[in-house]
Amino acid sequence: MSGAAPPDMDRLARARAAVEQVTDPEIPVLTIADLGVLRDVRLQGETVEVTITPTYSGCPAMGMISVEIETALARAGFRSARVRTTLAPAWTTDWLSAAGRDKLSAYGIAPPPHTGRAALFGAPAPACPRCGSARTEQISAFGSTACKALHRCLACREPFDAFKCH
């Protein structure tokens, strides 16, 4: 017997690889895996079942993400897909990958602190993603999307979005 993976393992790996490439329509440098929105990929017979968790319960991007997941799976040769959205456990910024945090910063969005406890006890001002200065201030609790707040760097004077800590 060869060391080849069982057919279902190969199918699952192909499905997961396809889904992990889906990007967030609001932040296209991030995949849903980077963002931590992708929770599970499993096979249910001939159907690929994908579970996602929104960054917040009213996130308008989830509909587009579902369509993009189905499209990615169809391109990878899967005829039947089901996307489930689950709200529990609630998404947290702790689910962002290290690569996702780096991509956010390179894109000009300050990543959140590394711990969700900051949401309870107040987070320090985010560092400027452009110049790195810690001298920043929040301009508005509302940024370009509901999961971000608008900040300004006091050193380079540039505005920037920062992920809200969840």
Q: Mean pLDDT over residues 3-13, rounded?
A: 74
Residue 126 CB-half CA count within 13 A: 27
Weakest mean pLDDT among 16-20, 21-25, 117-121, 143-147: 117-121
- For residue 43, what pLDDT band results from cuts at 50, 70 and 90? very high
The predicted-structure confidence for 53-91, as pLDDT tens digits, reads as follows: 998 888 889 999 999 999 999 999 999 999 999 999 999
pLDDT value of residue 117: 52
Supply the pLDDT for residue 166.
61
Phi, psi angle pair for 42, to nearest 5°: -145, 160
Secondary structure of the chain in HEC code, one letter for each residue = CCCCCCHHHHHHHHHHHHHHCCECCCCCCCEHHHHCCEEEEEEECCEEEEEECCCCCCCCHHHHHHHHHHHHHHHCCCCEEEEEECCCCCCCHHHCCHHHHHHHHHHCEECCCCCCHHHHHCCCCCCCCCCCCCCEEEEECCCCCCCEEEEEECCCCCEEEEECCC
pLDDT of residue 107: 93
| 52 DSSP β-pair partners | 38, 85
Residues whose CB is less than 8 angstroms from the CB of residue 165 and which lie 6 or more positions away in sequence, other chains included: 93, 112, 113, 116, 118, 119, 123
Is the per-residue pLDDT at 16 higher than 80? yes
Domains of the chain: 7-85 (3.30.300.130), 98-163 (no CATH)
Mean of the per-residue pLDDT values of the chain: 88
Residue 2 banded pLDDT, cuts 50, 70, 90 = low
Distance CA 164, CA 111 (A): 9
- Per-residue model confidence as pLDDT tens digits over 98-153: 999 999 999 999 988 765 555 455 667 889 999 999 999 999 988 888 788 899 99
pLDDT at 164: 81
pTM: 0.79
What is the predicted pLDDT for the residue at 147? 80
